[in-house]
């Protein structure tokens, strides 16, 4: 959902600015777009950490194969912590950026752009905090939004594989072990996509921090555009990758779309299809939570007493 917000709001603003050299929504977009982009990095970072912890709990649980499905209230509470925490850490971006104008010496056209400069109207204490954030922004990006999710995911995967290695001879080939392996591959794929898309931004931040006096404004704008392109690419690829790798989630998404298109008309075919899909869903495992297997009812004796 947050990736959709980035593509729905930030992408049109960036495209409009590149075409017209005018900032859509003016100073508001200069503050909201960086805020939403940094919040997107925080949501992805803490979500990957939460998924790594979930996989670690699944590996260390004494009854991992019968672990019940997590309650909806617990999931919503975790999502609220992730979202509120990411947005709170991104609040300095609102106070850091502001709209500026520049007149071209060649044709005299006035162009609008966003500059990283705290407003002088801020209170002294807030102004000093924003300046401190600006000076530490590069390493904060690199440490929290790049190193943390990658190192956390790698550590959880190594510990999980080590624990699973001791039980490999006992549960090899079982459906539960195959499901666990599929879930781990899904998290690794999401982490790889995130790492590849955030690497250029961190490299550009380090280059700009140490070489910005020797670089022209056109070069800095180009680097910023490349960073935003990779961010939009990540927001586009991540949901598709998740729906493709997570077959139960992808099937539920397709069923929901088909239900909305067809008007949920109940008929015999749909009832048979829903029964079949329900049976398949019960036989398959969830993407992040393991559903306990229900013991089948005892078979009744058929035939004559002889």
Mean pLDDT, 10 residues at a time, the chain of 306 residues:
87 85 81 90 90 79 62 87 92 86 70 80 86 87 90 84 64 61 80 88 81 73 83 86 76 76 50 49 46 49 49
Phi/psi at 264 (5° precision): 55, 40
Q: What is the pLDDT of residue 82?
A: 93
So what's the pLDDT on residue 276?
Answer: 53
Instruction: Estimate the share of the chain in helix, then strand, then coil, as percent rounded to the nearest 5.
Output: 75, 5, 20
The single residue listed with the structure tokens 């960036």 is 14
Find where tokens 């550009």 sit. Answer: 204
**With contact defined as beta carbons under 8 Å apart, do 14 and 235 qualify?**
no
| Record: fold of 1-61+70-167+174-260 | Rhopdopsin 7-helix transmembrane proteins (1.20.1070)
| Token code pair at residue 193 | 């996509």
Give me the pLDDT at residue 241, please: 81
**What pLDDT was estimated at residue 85?**
92
Say how far apart CA 93 and CA 137 lie, in whole Å. 10
Closest CA to 185 of 212, 157, 213, 207: 157
Domain locations in the chain as residue ranges: 1-61+70-167+174-260
pLDDT of residue 102: 75
Measure the CA–CA gap between 195 and 137, rounded to whole angstroms: 18
Q: In sequence order, what E strands does the chain have?
A: 97-103, 110-116
φ, ψ of residue 113 in degrees (nearest 5): -150, 165
Q: Which residues of 243-264 are buried (b: 16+ CB within 10 A; e: fewer)?
A: eebbeebeeeeeeeeeeeeeee
């Amino acid at each position: 959902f947050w990736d959709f917000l980035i593509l729905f709001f930030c992408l049109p603003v960036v495209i409009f600015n590149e075409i017209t050299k005018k900032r859509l929504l003016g100073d508001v977009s200069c503050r909201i777009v960086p805020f939403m982009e940094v919040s997107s990095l925080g949501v992805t970072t803490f979500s990957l950490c939460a998924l790594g912890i979930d996989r670690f709990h699944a590996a260390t649980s004494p009854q991992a194969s019968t672990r019940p499905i997590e309650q909806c209230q617990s999931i919503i509470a975790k999502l609220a912590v992730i979202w509120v925490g990411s947005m709170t850490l991104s609040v300095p971006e609102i106070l850091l950026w502001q709209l500026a104008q520049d007149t071209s010496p060649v044709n005299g056209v006035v162009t609008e752009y966003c500059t990283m400069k705290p407003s002088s109207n801020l209170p002294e204490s807030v102004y000093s905090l924003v300046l401190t954030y600006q000076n530490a922004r590069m390493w904060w990006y690199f440490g929290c939004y790049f190193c943390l999710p990658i190192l956390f995911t790698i550590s959880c995967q190594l510990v999980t594989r080590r624990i699973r290695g001791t039980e490999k001879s006992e549960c090899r080939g079982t459906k539960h072990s195959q499901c666990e392996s599929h879930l781990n591959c899904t998290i690794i794929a999401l982490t790889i996509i995130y790492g590849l898309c955030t690497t250029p931004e961190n490299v550009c931040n380090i280059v700009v921090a140490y070489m910005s006096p020797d670089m022209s404004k056109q070069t800095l704008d180009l680097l910023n555009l490349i960073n935003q392109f990779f961010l939009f690419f990540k927001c586009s690829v991540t949901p598709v990758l998740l729906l493709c790798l997570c077959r139960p989630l992808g099937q539920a998404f397709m069923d929901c779309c088909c239900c909305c298109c067809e008007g949920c008309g109940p008929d015999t075919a749909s009832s048979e299809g829903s029964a079949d899909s329900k049976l398949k869903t019960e036989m398959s495992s969830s993407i992040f939570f393991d559903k306990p297997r229900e013991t089948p009812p005892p078979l009744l004796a058929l035939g004559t007493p002889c």
